Chains A and B, each alone.
Chain A
Amino acid sequence: MNPQFRALKAQIMRRKRWLNALEIAGDWLGLSLGLSLAYLLASSLGLLPALPSLWWLFPINMAVGLAGWWWGWRRPIDLPTVLLQIDRALGTGELLCSYHEFSGERARVPFSGRLERLVRDLAIDPVAALPLGRRRRRRLSWVVALGLGLTLLASLSSWQLLPSPALFGAAAKDTQHRQERDSVSQANPARPLSAAELQQLGARSEALARQLRISSAPARRQTTVAELSKLYRRLQASEQALWKLPAAAGQADPLAQTQGSSSQQAGAGLSSEQERARRLAEARRAAEALQQALSQLQAQARAGQLSQEELRRKLNQLARQAPNQALRRGLQRAAQAQNLQAQQRLMQQAQQQLQKLINRDNELQRAQHQIAQALLQASQKLAQSGQAPASQPGREGDKPSSGRSERQGQQGAKQGQKQGTGSKAPQGASAAAQQSAGQAGKSGQSGQADQAGAKSSSGHQAGKGAGSKAQDQTTQQLLPTQYQLKIAHDQLPPDVKLQRMMLGKGVPFDAVGSAADNDTLTLRYDFAKVEPLIRARGLPPQMRELIRQYFIAITTEPKSKP
């Protein structure tokens, strides 16, 4: 074969590889740029998380383009076909592909000689022979357009010249959040934050975090982060203020200083207790009414006073009033039963379920009020044993009634424990406890023990003083004491569970019995382990004292021992 033709073939191969590489790189890059633009749009609408910087898209796209180039370069080339393409493009009469095949060993005399002469006379320019082509040029122009578009959008976005749809409407919210922020920041930094302020702070933090997720403009993100830092510092200051509350004797009663906020907080705590108790009482009354209606229906059905249709209709009505899904389904099944016997059986089952529900509500109520009582007692004891008696008109008068209600409540609780069920006794206790709780709310006493442990107790001052020794002795006496509460474990509402957790935070208790054991759970507090744990927690002194006093309060009456 003619060496010039060999060289020409090599040039043609190189050109073809270059075109293949360009084509594939262009296709891949075009796809990648298209996806990048789609991503840009989605992230600005908040549908996808934003990258730290849009400029990341450029190296990603470049990598895709380079990968496409490599892939195209490595594509196998069918030389005879390429030569034919060149022949067609240049109108050589298929000389190149014919000579490529019929030269050397496959030469066909005399035609190959003539072929060689003719091929030699051709001046083939591989670039002209294999042009880019209109189709390739069109596709590449799309790629260039997409690249320019992406560059423009990235630039505009980083210069914050593009309004992000996700931030539309943020202007109106900004004003509101600024006001909240101002109210939070203007609060006395030396005092702990109230529950309402904490809630505000929490809501604002959430909004800021959301903003951070969707916004990619660096300047805006910086502002958001700065604001979040301020809020965090405010929270830290509040916590430090809690720690710095004066505990030594002789100092002014911090209770007096924090009276306003703590009474608010106590009021908020106890009023939430009241609310819970009220809801429980309502639920119990509804359950009792349903029970009564069901009993009447059973009696009527037994006496044959109702037709099948009427009975079915009334059962469905009762089902609609059922407080929970299981009871509703039970009553619906009873309504759909085929005969009276089956209906009676199902109604009886529903009765049993209702009774269980009522019993559970009673227990819950009792537990609620016992907790409220304990809080009251603890705060009272602190006030009594504290440095500056925080005597307020309401409080003196409260004592006897509190004590009375406390005794009543405990008696009721004892009865409840003995009977295991019983709706009357806890009612008395609950009413009394509500009364005392309400009074305590007015007087602004404790309520903080049920919020975030004892930290937000708003500075109940329980320092070491004259009463502390006596208290220690009492504690020692009471160390082996245990506190027992029978309640259906799976029916504990979440807030009671939370209260129990917070009050018993750090205090180990053993759960005796399981859900299968008559559906009750016995909780036993082991006070022998309290002291070391309290010390180990590193709580401030006045908080330790509060907790200690609380446990003393709930176990004061010997009769309350199980």
Chain B
Amino acid sequence: MSERDPERQIVELQERLRALRAEIAKVIVGQEETVRAITLCLLSGGHALLEGVPGLGKTLLVRTLGRILGLSFKRIQFTPDLMPADILGTRILSEDESGRRRFEFAKGPIFAQLLLADEINRATPKTQSALLEAMQERCVTLGNETYRLEEPFMVLATQNPLEMEGTYPLPEAQIDRFTFKILLRYPSEAELAVILERQAQLGDLSGLNSVLSGAELLRARHWVAQLPIAEPLRRYVVRLVYATHPSSEEVPPLIKQYVEYGASPRAGISLIRTAQANAFLDGAPNVRLSDLQRVFNLAFNHRVIRNFRGEAEGISIETLLAQVLKTTPEV
């Protein structure tokens, strides 16, 4: 890649990213929106929470991504008996060659670049909170020592909407740290047909090429962060965030009726970063209004908390967010 010509760099990165999606498509049938959303998370430096029924290929997708990006990949299966040390690591007593014993820190799976936290809502809140610092600060503190995580670092967590019995819903503080909550849809008939056709090759990642390295991903993240977003669009993001709060002045009636808590400022930051990533993917030189509107649902759907009435009446978050988007003035 040319180091001198930034524009050329950007163009090359954009091509690589397009190739990334094509490479993923070799293994994952359909799920284009999911793949795009994960790519946006990657580019914006965020984490993603994948929600879907079992068997949709969540784990395969993350494994594929790890393979293509050439990043270190670890998977943690969250169970109720999982301990924080199982994630972060622990001190173990080791003996060196001279026979001296000392404590050594054995790093846990969190020290991978791409971490798949499978069924995260099956672990206890104590274990779940072990991810908090890592996701936000990109480091792990144990005792007096802080261990930085290797960039790019991304957590992809999955949760099963079924089997609510025996699960521990993620606390709002932890959910807010996920950039996107991606809802996996069931494959269409055609897609299912293709999946079944390829069933023999399922899980075989040997044919995949590494199209983007970690360093290149970091460079892409740098350019994404530089993408200009005009001040009227930033004001639009502010209006969107405030429109999710029932106590705001100009709020859609549905929000007033069915929402307990609105989105946090972190939601606005996530929205802008992922919109930049979206514009970057599309090759645009600036963030557009359509970028913001495209990623709005993904960025906000896990950050707006319904009240009891909203849950009892079965009002979906998507309905509420659609109302917000419709009623918030663009200009």
- Report A's interface with B, CB cutoff 8 A: 80-81, 83-85, 88, 93-95, 97-102, 108-115, 118
Contact = CB atoms under 8 A, between A and B. Distances in A.
Contacts of A85: 331
Nearest to A113: B7
Contacts of A113: 7
Given A85-B331, A88-B331, A94 B230 contact: yes
The 6 closest A-B pairs by CB, nearest first: A98-B286, A110-B6, A114-B285, A102-B228, A97-B230, A84-B232
Contacts of A111: 226-228, 285-286
Contacts of A99: 286
A114 B285 CA distance: 6
Contacts of B230: 80, 84, 94, 97-98, 100-102
Contacts of A83: 232
A110 B286 CA distance: 11
Interface centre among B5, B230, B231, B287 (most CB of A within 10 A): B230
B14 to A, nearest CB: 12
Majority secondary structure of chain B interface residues (helix, strand, loop or mixed): loop
Nearest to A84: B232
A98 B7 contact: no
A80 B287 CA distance: 15
30 contacts: A80-B231, A80-B232, A81-B331, A83-B232, A84-B232, A84-B233, A85-B331, A88-B289, A88-B331, A93-B288, A94-B230, A94-B287, A97-B231, A97-B233, A98-B228, A98-B229, A98-B230, A100-B230, A101-B230, A101-B231, A102-B286, A108-B226, A109-B6, A110-B5, A111-B227, A112-B228, A114-B285, A115-B228, A115-B285, A115-B286
A98 B287 CA distance: 8
B315 interface: no
A81 to B, nearest CB: 6
B10 interface: yes
A114 B287 contact: no
Interface in B300-331: 330-331
A101 B228 contact: yes
B7 A110 contact: yes
Given A81-B331, A94-B288, A98-B228, 20 more contacts: A80-B230, A80-B231, A80-B232, A83-B232, A84-B233, A93-B284, A93-B288, A94-B233, A95-B286, A97-B230, A97-B233, A100-B230, A101-B231, A108-B226, A110-B5, A110-B6, A111-B226, A112-B228, A114-B7, A115-B286
B226 A88 contact: no
Interface in B187-236: 226-233
Contacts of B287: 94, 98
B288 A108 contact: no
A385 to B, nearest CB: 99
Contacts of A84: 230, 232-233, 330-331
Contacts of A112: 228, 285
Nearest to A111: B285
Nearest to A93: B288
Contacts of B228: 98, 101-102, 108, 111-112, 115
A118 B285 contact: yes
Contacts of A95: 285-286
Nearest to A82: B331
A112 B226 CA distance: 10
Nearest to B279: A93
Contacts of B7: 110, 113-114
B286 A93 contact: yes
A94 B285 contact: no
A108 B228 CA distance: 7
A108 B330 CA distance: 24
A560 B286 CA distance: 117
A114 B280 CA distance: 13
Nearest to B289: A94
Nearest to B226: A108
A32 B266 CA distance: 51
A98 B226 CA distance: 13
Nearest to B229: A98
B232 A97 contact: yes
A99 B231 CA distance: 11
B288 A81 contact: no
B223 to A, nearest CB: 8
Nearest to B10: A110
A113 B6 CA distance: 11
Contacts of B286: 93-95, 98-99, 102, 111, 115
Contacts of B10: 110
Contacts of A115: 228, 285-286
Contacts of B331: 81, 84-85, 88
Nearest to B290: A93
Interface centre among B228, B229, B289 (most CB of A within 10 A): B228
Nearest to B9: A110
A115 B283 CA distance: 12
Contacts of B288: 93-94
A94 B226 CA distance: 16
B176 to A, nearest CB: 28
A91 to B, nearest CB: 10
A95 B232 CA distance: 12
A80 B286 CA distance: 15
A84 B330 CA distance: 9
A115 B287 CA distance: 11
B330 A88 contact: yes
Nearest to A103: B228
Interface centre among A88, A94, A99, A108 (most CB of B within 10 A): A94
A86 B47 CA distance: 36
Contacts of B289: 88, 94
A383 B82 CA distance: 142
Contacts of A93: 284, 286, 288, 290
Nearest to B236: A84
Contacts of A114: 7, 285
A83 B284 CA distance: 18
A112 B7 CA distance: 11
A88 B288 CA distance: 10
Contacts of A102: 228, 230, 286
Contacts of B290: 93
A110 to B, nearest CB: 4
A226 B301 CA distance: 85
B222 to A, nearest CB: 12
B296 to A, nearest CB: 16
Nearest to A92: B288
Contacts of B226: 108, 111
A63 to B, nearest CB: 34
A99 B330 CA distance: 18
Nearest to A98: B286
A2 to B, nearest CB: 15
